[in-house]
Every structure is written in structure tokens, then in C-alpha cells.
């Protein structure tokens, strides 16, 4: 398996419905679950499946993504042979959701020529799931299929494709003759010369494509059944390790059904919420049904319900912010939110 499957992650996608959270980062680097980034899921799945060579194709706002992944050490991808590769694309096009763009791949075609893996798995960067790719490779190699598209049972395409690396190279090289611009074009062509098959995946999987979807998927992590399906002991979701002190709970504070990361100071009430590293919550503050990202500072006597605070947000004392599950109140990164601003 080590030399049979190449991992290819398309990190170029941009969803307009997530604009408030993508001003300073790519979708792949969107924080999730208090300590993860969205890309951690597909990357961990690849590593847990024995893949030792992974190429990531970002397009814009990828500084935070590269800072998060670094050399790939936390995924055991900082190696002399194979490892983690970044191929930022110089190509600008109007299609923001073209998974597996052959134009993007063509710019770095030499990488595919040099790859020793017989097969390639091409994936989007924004699906929250925990999946072993070994059974798919075994099924594909014995099925006679040219391309296998992953489908979620009872749903549609997961925008992940298994293909021989040699065929992928051919599709890239002949893109101008065939008119195929991406993997989706190939699998959706009814007159295609290739045998396209579907592999049904019946596990937990959610594609993050809107604020509402991001909020509901995050809140579902607080349900034990969802947590057990997503975070498996034998297939851990790996992420960047940060050494921080334990969270401090001030006398009189209260926490119920919440995920609290390290390095926080909790002085108020936190219920049904996800709190990232280094967050400070003042005395008398009430936080319900919220996503609070890294290093936010919420002063005393604030009330937040169904709110998403991006990183480094400061909420001044006495501020009341209320959203809904279908329309959470979103505060952009680095913003100062005060009581007078809401009056």
C-alpha cells in the first residue's frame, strides 16, 4: 500500500456562503472542533490508509494552511522519500468548485511523472469524515473500473475519485483534445470511453459548504453518537500539536456539554459550545450554542447564543449577541465587538 496509492488533495475550492470565515484563510484551513482544521480529516484518512505521498494543490489565501501543515511532521509526512508536497496554482479561473482541475495539475505534471504509486486518490479538502481507503483500492483494482467515484450511501458524489496514475496523466495531457477540464467532467460524460464505477460509503460524512452547514456539523460533535463515528481510536484524526497549559476554570464558572481546548480561562457559563485554544471568558458571561475560535476574549457579563467568533475577536463587557441555528451570528477575525455597537 505504501507505494501503490498517491494522495492528491484539491484545496482550491471557495464557497461564497462561507465568505465571512474565509477572508484570511482557505477553506482547507477552516478551524473545526476546537483544535482541528478541515483538511485534517482527509489528510489523516490518507495517512491512516498507508499513503506516504500526498500532494496539496492550494490556490489562494494558503498561508495559514501552510503554517498549519508545515513539513507534515504531525502526519509523519516529513520524510526523505515521498512525503508532503505543496503546489500553489498560478492559474486563476472563475470556477471555484472544480475538484481535480487538469489545468492546475498540468502546471506540475512533472510531479505525476515522477510518482511511483500505481493509483491516485483525488479528493476535495472540505469533507468531515473518517474513512480507510484500503477497501476502496482493493475493490477498484479487482472491479475492472477505470475510475471509481465515491458516493455517500443515500446521497450523491463525495467528490473523491480513484484512478490509475497513468490514466490521470493521460487525462491531463489530452485535456485540450477531449475538452475535459476536471474529474467531474469525465465521470459525468455519458459518452465517456472510460468505465466509471461508484463506491458506496455508509459512514459519517459531511461536506462543509455553508455557514449553516458548518455550524450544524460543529454542534453535532457534541452528540456522543456522532463523536464515536467520527473519532476512531484505530484511525485517529491528526492535527498540529501545540503545547499549552491546561484550561483554568475560575471559581463559580459552569460548563455543560461543551468541548474546551487547552490554554483557556473560563470565568462564566459555557453550554453546548465549542471553545478553541487560548480563549478567555469573563465572569458572569454566558456562552450557549456557540463556536469560539482561538484566542478570543469575551469580557464580563456578556451573553452569546448561536454565535461564531472567528480568531482573535474581542467582545466587550455587557455585549449581547444572538443568532439562530439556521442563521448563526458571525463575527469576523480580529474584530472588536462592543455593547454600544449592538444598541
Q: Domains along the chain? A: 5-230 (3.90.550.10), 248-342 (2.160.10)
**pLDDT at residue number 159:** 95
The rounded distance, in Å, linking the Cα atoms of 5 and 10 is 16
Q: Which residue has the higher pLDDT, 242 or 321?
A: 321
Average pLDDT over residues 86-98: 71
Is residue 18 predicted with pLDDT exceeding 70? yes
What percentage of the chain has pLDDT greater than the value 70?
96
Pairing of strands 127-129, 205-207: antiparallel
Residue 327's CB is within 10 A of a number of other CB atoms, namely 11
**pLDDT at residue number 155:** 85
**pLDDT at residue number 6:** 97
**pLDDT tens track for 35-61:** 999 999 999 999 999 999 999 999 888
**pLDDT tens track for 253-301:** 999 999 999 999 999 999 999 999 999 999 999 999 999 999 999 999 9
**pLDDT at residue number 2:** 47
**pLDDT at residue number 93:** 60
Is residue 343 predicted with pLDDT exceeding 70? no
CA distances from 288 to 18, 104, 269, 316, 331 (A): 22, 43, 8, 17, 15
DSSP annotation of 232: B
**pLDDT at residue number 60:** 81
**pLDDT tens track for 154-200:** 889 999 999 999 999 999 999 999 999 999 999 999 888 999 999 99
Amino acid at each position: 500500500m505504501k507505494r501503490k496509492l498517491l494522495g492528491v488533495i484539491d484545496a482550491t475550492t471557495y464557497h461564497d456562503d462561507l465568505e465571512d470565515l474565509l477572508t484570511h484563510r482557505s477553506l482547507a484551513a477552516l478551524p473545526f472542533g476546537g483544535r482541528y482544521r478541515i483538511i485534517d480529516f482527509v489528510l489523516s484518512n490518507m495517512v491512516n490508509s498507508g499513503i506516504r505521498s500526498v500532494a496539496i494543490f492550494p490556490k489562494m489565501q494558503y498561508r495559514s494552511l501552510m503554517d498549519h501543515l508545515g513539513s507534515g511532521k504531525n502526519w509523519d509526512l516529513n520524510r526523505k522519500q515521498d512525503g508532503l508536497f505543496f503546489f500553489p496554482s498560478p492559474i486563476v479561473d472563475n470556477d471555484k468548485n472544480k475538484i481535480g482541475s487538469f489545468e492546475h495539475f498540468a502546471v506540475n505534471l512533472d510531479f505525476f511523472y515522477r510518482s511511483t504509486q500505481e493509483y491516485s486518490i483525488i479528493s476535495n479538502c472540505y469533507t468531515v469524515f473518517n474513512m480507510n481507503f484500503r477497501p476502496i483500492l482493493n475493490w477498484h483494482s479487482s472491479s475492472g473500473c477505470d475510475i471509481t467515484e465515491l458516493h455517500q450511501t443515500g446521497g450523491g458524489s463525495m467528490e473523491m475519485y480513484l484512478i490509475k496514475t497513468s490514466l490521470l496523466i493521460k487525462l491531463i495531457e489530452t485535456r485540450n483534445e477531449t475538452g475535459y477540464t476536471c474529474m467531474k467532467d469525465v465521470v459525468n460524460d455519458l459518452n465517456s470511453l472510460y468505465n466509471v464505477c461508484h463506491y458506496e460509503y455508509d459512514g459519517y460524512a459531511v461536506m462543509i459548504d455553508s455557514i449553516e452547514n458548518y455550524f450544524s456539523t460543529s454542534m453535532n460533535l457534541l452528540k456522543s453518537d456522532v463523536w464515536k463515528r467520527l473519532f476512531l481510536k484505530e484511525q485517529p484524526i491528526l492535527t498540529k500539536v501545540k503545547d499549552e497549559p491546561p484550561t483554568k476554570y475560575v471559581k463559580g464558572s459552569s460548563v455543560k456539554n461543551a468541548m474546551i481546548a487547552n490554554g483557556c480561562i473560563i470565568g462564566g457559563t459555557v453550554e453546548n459550545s465549542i471553545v478553541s485554544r487560548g480563549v478567555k471568558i469573563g465572569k458572569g458571561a454566558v456562552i450557549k450554542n456557540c463556536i469560539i475560535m482561538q484566542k478570543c476574549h469575551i469580557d464580563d457579563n456578556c451573553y452569546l447564543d448561536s454565535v461564531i467568533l472567528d480568531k482573535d475577536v474581542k467582545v466587550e463587557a455587557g455585549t449581547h449577541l444572538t443568532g439562530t441555528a439556521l442563521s448563526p451570528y458571525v463575527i469576523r477575525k480580529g474584530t472588536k465587538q462592543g455593547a454600544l455597537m449592538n444598541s
